Structure 1
Amino acid sequence: MKNSLRNMAKWALPALGLFLMSSGAQAQDEVGEFIRAGRSDANKLIQAYAEPVGKSLGHSLNGGWFNSGKAMGLGRFDIRVFGSVTFAPKDAKTFDLAGLGLQQVRDANGNKFAGRSVLTPTIFGEDKDGPGLTVYARNPVTNQEERISSFNAPPGTGVDFMPFPVAQLSVGLIKDTEVAVRFVPEIKMDDFEISLWGVGVKHGIKQWIPVVASIPGFDITVFGGYTNLKSAYRGIDVGLADEDQAFASAQQRSAGYYDGQAIELTTKAWTVSLVASKTFSVITGYAGPKYSNVQTDLAAIGKYPVTAYKTTAPFRYVEDVDTPVNISMKDSQFGLTAGLRLKLLFFSMYGEYTLAKYPTATAGIGLGWN
């Protein structure tokens, strides 16, 4: 897979920072070209390309909260480490340029996309370049549209899943209630920054249903959880394109003028579940319906060079655009979660799978008195 991890890092970089510290990710090529398409078209293109990974990341964060339908007793605790992997559906591997309503971006021949389907890879698509694209702007003097840039839509990674690791502490409280906490203080790794926190509550409802309360080894709970992930990649370096050097000011051409560029990503994920479980000796099987809601906000921070026209000489110039990309990727889905836990004294291991549009597989280990 040519540059597959590198390309994944370009867009899912904040989410994958823990995995890709050693990859010299260089996002400036595709970021720079998309931004040169103008604020409106750049946001549309980047959102269509990156949205599947924003959704997958959120659904990954909503996995692994529980491994049984029983809330721990007062004072009991469990520390666990697990990984969740969310898989992209087939329709999340490409997007149609014709459906984006692009204004300045055309195909390689300068033709608009309206009325014809032109598919290009998302981040989860095939590891090959997308179609050739050109950017046009209207010259106010001649009133003619002129080509100002050309590039290929970026390739996919050839990888159709999003992994994410999490550590969690769960503690039993009164009234058959359990609280779970996730926390990662801010970590800086070269150009990566990442921090995470989350809280979840599980409450046993078996105690409120007399018929169910009499069934030995059977438990049922309701669960709700929220996770917040903030991350950034500050290794972006989108400078002037060679063809724009002649139209830039001396200040814009000076070293360090475009420093401070970054990609910042925030993911908010919350989930609710109804979980039933049955324990047989050291094995517990659990299952139940699950609702998952996610929102991932992505922004390109700093100033970036974009070619533009004005009505006075020199007519063509380089405009500095601040925060040209600011998009929000949202998704929600219902699913069915089922899993198994093996518990031996203070050690446990478990695995589960959530059947949904973006399915998630989770596996982990735990230590504690539960």
Structure 2
Amino acid sequence: MKRILSLLAVACGFQAMAQSNINEVLAAGLDDAERFTTDYIAPASEGFMYSLSSGWYNTADAKPLGGFEISIIGNMAGFKNKDDKKTFEMNVADYDNLKFVDGSTSKLVSTSLGDIENVMVYVEDENGLFREEFELPTGLASENINFVPSGFVQASVGLIKGTEIKARFLPKISTDDYEIGMYGVGIQHELTKHLPADKILPIAISAVIGYTHLDGSYDFTNSNIVAGQDQKLEVDVNTWVFQAVVSTKLPIINFYGGLGYITGKSTTDVLGTYVVQSGPFQQTYEDPFSIDKKANGVTANIGTKLKLGFFRLHADYALAEFNTLSVGVNFGFR
């Protein structure tokens, strides 16, 4: 079974291996391949958008003019108990050519997050003279990975009147197999700075807006069924988060929480030349299809931050469509 290094895990430096031979599904024809790949990839794309959207703040207390903080942040959007994200119902009636080897008309199969192995399908011509069998891909859970990670460096700088600007980035990483990079910008404004009693209030209240962009590509390994060249996935992800944040204002340890809304879009382009060289539908496809996935929903989190001089630690947990743990190591001064 062939494996690919998941783009979802590369973003954070993890070597999460997802068994995948989705290019072989092109042996069933373009329409069937697009239909299957859309259902297969969608949950991972959604989870990645929630993962990328986290970690924008660790307090509602905006930095003063010139204050700054540099953070190394890691996020994990979990799906361990989300069976609806790890599987989907595949009904052969929805496909033109793809059928189950065991004769089933419908069954649960793995998404890119799941763990269902040894699901064999086939395609054949009308006379049954040409037939090709292959195994559907499984997902991250088959490697005991039950979260979608992301990681980046983030910097925050205080401006005037309770305003703080933020930037996050993952430097471009390139190997023979994959390339990935990320950046984002955000703004935080503390509303309590406009109150006369700001200096004596025990809490701070802020509004935060953040935008994150990620793009990457992964080169496929050719299979025995589908040959070709320049076969790769290109992924483009854009997310926005809008949140209201409240936190305590204590010298050493503080607590914070937020309520907001996440929205995003992921586009996955299947690019290259694909030559189906076995089975009844032997054709050549150029840049066969593109898959779009949107995600949006309410998110709420709670966290804590420890300050030890210029060194800080924070951790929070967000409840959303994909619950997300965010942890960070921070350096800076006010």
> Is the TM-score greater than 0.5?
yes
Offset of residue 228 of structure 1: 0.5
The superposition leaves residues 64-110 of structure 1 with CA deviations (integer Å, 9 ceiling, x where unpaired) of 11000111111111000010000122311110002882222112156
The answer to whether the 8 Å contact 2:8/2:149 transfers is no
State how far apart, in whole Å, the 2-side matches of 1:177 and 1:195 are: 27
The answer to whether the 8 Å contact 2:18/2:140 transfers is no
State how far apart, in whole Å, the 2-side matches of 1:265 and 1:146 are: 38
Offset of residue 285 of structure 1: 0.6
Match of 2:10 in 1: 16
The superposition leaves residues 297-332 of structure 1 with CA deviations (integer Å, 9 ceiling, x where unpaired) of 1122101013699xxxxxx67321011231112211
The answer to whether the 8 Å contact 2:85/2:111 transfers is yes
1:97 matched to 2:97? The reply is no
- The aligned amino acid for 1:149 is E
The answer to whether the 8 Å contact 2:11/2:150 transfers is no
1:226 matched to 2:211? The reply is yes
Structure 2 counterpart of 1:238, from 193, 204, 222 = 222
The answer to whether the 8 Å contact 1:181/1:197 transfers is yes
Q: 1:265 to 1:301 in 2, by over 3 A?
A: same
Match of 1:253 in 2: none
1:81 matched to 2:72? The reply is yes
State how far apart, in whole Å, the 2-side matches of 1:20 and 1:123 are: 16
State how far apart, in whole Å, the 1-side matches of 2:18 and 2:303 are: 39
State how far apart, in whole Å, the 2-side matches of 1:330 and 1:137 are: 36
1:51-62 equivalences in 2 (<5 Å): 51-62=42-53
Q: 1:99 to 1:296 in 2, by over 3 A?
A: farther
- The aligned amino acid for 1:225 is G
> Could you list the runs of 4 or more consecutive aligned residues of structure 1 that deviate by over 6 angstroms after TM superposition?
none
SS in 2 for 1:318: coil
Match of 1:249 in 2: none
State how far apart, in whole Å, the 2-side matches of 1:136 and 1:69 are: 61
Offset of residue 146 of structure 1: 6.0
1:1-370 equivalences in 2 (<5 Å): 7=3, 9-10=4-5, 12-13=6-7, 15-16=9-10, 19-20=13-14, 30-88=21-79, 89-98=82-91, 101-108=94-101, 113=105, 117-126=106-115, 128-137=116-125, 144=127, 147-158=130-141, 159-208=145-194, 213=198, 216-234=201-219, 236-238=220-222, 241=225, 258-306=228-276, 318-370=282-334
Q: 1:275 to 1:146 in 2, by over 3 A?
A: farther
State how far apart, in whole Å, the 1-side matches of 2:310 and 2:199 are: 27
State how far apart, in whole Å, the 2-side matches of 1:290 and 1:135 are: 47
Offset of residue 270 of structure 1: 1.2
Number of residue pairs aligned between Structure 1 and Structure 2: 329
- The aligned amino acid for 1:97 is M
Q: Comparing both structures, which one devotes a greater share of its residues to strand?
A: 2
Flag structure 1 segments of 5+ consecutive residues without an equivalent.
139-143, 245-256, 310-315
SS in 1 for 2:249: strand
State how far apart, in whole Å, the 2-side matches of 1:100 and 1:299 are: 26
The range that moved more, 68-77 or 299-308, is 299-308
Flag structure 2 segments of 5+ consecutive residues without an equivalent.
none
Offset of residue 351 of structure 1: 0.2
Identity, % of aligned positions: 28
The range that moved more, 213-222 or 296-305, is 213-222
Q: 1:168 to 1:137 in 2, by over 3 A?
A: farther
Match of 1:248 in 2: none
The superposition leaves residues 205-251 of structure 1 with CA deviations (integer Å, 9 ceiling, x where unpaired) of 113456x74752310000010110111112x232553xx9xxxxxxx
Q: What's the TM-score once normalised by structure 2's chain length?
A: 0.89
Q: What's the TM-score once normalised by structure 1's chain length?
A: 0.80
Q: 1:317 to 1:121 in 2, by over 3 A?
A: closer
State how far apart, in whole Å, the 2-side matches of 1:209 and 1:47 are: 50
Bigger Rg, structure 1 or 2: 1
The answer to whether the 8 Å contact 1:272/1:292 transfers is yes
- The aligned amino acid for 1:360 is T
State how far apart, in whole Å, the 2-side matches of 1:35 and 1:264 are: 17
